[in-house]
Amino acid sequence: MAKEIERKFLVRSDGWRSGATAKSVLRQGYIASMDDRSVRVRIIDRKSARLTTKIGRSKMTRDEFEYEIPVSDAEELLDAAIGIVIEKTRYRVPYEGYVWEVDVFAGRHRGLVIAEVEMGSEAERPALPAWLGREVTGDFRYSNQALATEFEHDRHALQHTA
Amino acid sequence: MAKEIERKFLVRSDGWRSGATAKSVLRQGYIASMDDRSVRVRIIDRKSARLTTKIGRSKMTRDEFEYEIPVSDAEELLDAAIGIVIEKTRYRVPYEGYVWEVDVFAGRHRGLVIAEVEMGSEAERPALPAWLGREVTGDFRYSNQALATEFEHDRHALQHTA
């Protein structure tokens, strides 16, 4: 089990693009989504897949259990996903000792761009790039879980630009 | 992904014991349990562990996705299980070309004994040993999911002998 400790922000400009060093295309959906936990399947660049269980109520930190699974299983699991399958391109953007992940959503969330940074502890204070917008750490509406499963009623509440 | 096609019965006598060829001790709980799906963690003989997702509404057949995971992860997942952790000893009992699994429950379900047989298709008609009691295939109250998560209200409705 790993701890997932992260902060999340909206993105207010394309300033991150010049610093991006890698990207991957993600397709993901939720097999289960209950109050403090979720079980997610993700296919990465159509080549590999992972089943990830996250548990915890904290805004910044959750327990994460992640396992590699066959892509063919993942495709079948996505067919059984709750809500929609999220499609996004994830860019890696190193900045002052941290690697930011910038998710550019496609499909039904096109226009939404979210940046996350993983930290070693909640006490860390990563430097914040100028292209970040409002912080949405712990705002359930911007969780992938909500974006996948509560899209229908939350669509108009979502702020797609910072 | 595999299909799980099985029939399930109560057990009305100890007649199966003389035919048992192997046994294992199972500890299991549910990480998620929603209408047509469940995510289960199981530790087998304290030595190996599996994470299993089952999806489907059919009484006899469900899709099953099962992955080996580290026992240490499984212990942590069991700590986060919904409801109770089920403890049971599973005996393998070959009978006329099929292998019956007889689950003898311990802990809070002590006294409950359930036999299951896995089939290749719903059309198969395995011979039924004389020690079987009433069939409970598709009876949600006797699912491991219900035994783990709905124990509190279903306890007195459960028939522990056939």
A55, A69, A80 member nearest B67 (Cβ): A69
Contact B131, B20 (CB under 8 A): no
Structure tokens at B127: 């011979």
Choose the closest CB to B77 out of A33, A65, A80: A65
Residue pLDDT, tens place only, B132-144: 999 999 998 998 8
Residues 6+ apart with CB under 8 A from A6: A60, A116, A117, A118, A119, A137
Cβ distance B76 to A69 less than 8 Å, yes or no, reads: no
Give residue ranges of A with CB < 8 Å to any B CB: 1, 31-34, 37, 39, 51, 53, 55, 63, 65, 67, 69, 72-73, 76-77, 80, 82
What average pLDDT does the structure give for chain B?
A: 91
Q: What is the ipTM of this complex?
A: 0.83
Per CB-CB distance under 8 Å, the chain B contacts of A73 are 1, 65
Least Cα separation, residue B73 to chain A (angstroms): 6
Render each residue's pLDDT in chain A as its tens digit; 162 residues.
788 899 999 999 999 999 999 999 999 999 999 889 999 999 999 999 999 999 998 888 899 999 999 999 999 999 999 999 999 999 999 999 999 999 999 998 999 999 999 999 999 999 999 999 999 999 989 988 889 887 544 444 555 554
The CATH classification of domain A2-159, taken from the options 3.30.470.20, 2.40.320.10, 3.40.50.2000, 3.40.50.280:
2.40.320.10
* Residue numbers of B annotated as active site: 30
pTM, full prediction: 0.86
Inter-chain touch A77–B53, beta carbons under 8 Å: yes
Q: Which residues of A are catalytic?
A: 30
Using an 8 Å Cβ cutoff, are A119 and A7 in contact?
yes
Residue A111: exposure state from Cβ atoms within 10 A (0-12, 13-18, ≥19): exposed
Interchain CB distance below 8 Å, B77 and A69: no
Does B82 sit within 8 Å of A55, measured CB to CB?
no
Show residues of chain A in contact with B63, CB under 8 Å: 76, 80
Residue-wise pLDDT for B16-52, tens only, equals 999 999 999 999 999 999 889 999 999 999 999 999 9
What residues are paired with B100 via a beta bridge? B93, B117
What would the DSSP string read from start to end of chain A? -EEEEEEEEEE-SSTTGGG--EEEEEEEEEEEEETTEEEEEEEETTTEEEEEEEE---SSEEEEEEEEE-HHHHHHHHHT-EEEEEEEEEEEEEETTEEEEEEEE-GGGTT-EEEEEE-SSTT--PPPPTTEEEE-TT-GGGSHHHHHHSHHHHGGG--S--
Q: With 50 as the cut, is the pLDDT of residue B145 above it? A: yes
Task: Give the H or E element holding residue B50.
Answer: strand B48-55
Distance CA A29, CA A42 (A): 7
Nearest CA in chain B to A31: B37
pLDDT per position as a tens digit, B53-94: 999 988 888 999 999 999 999 999 999 999 999 999 999 999
Give the minimum alpha-carbon distance from B84 to chain A in angstroms, rounded to a whole number: 17
Residues 6+ positions from A37 with CB-CB distance below 8 Å: A53, A54, A55, A56, B31, B32, B80
CB contact under 8 A, A80 and B63: yes
End-to-end CA distance of chain A: 34
Domain boundaries, chain A: 2-159
Helix (H) or strand (E) holding B93: strand B82-95
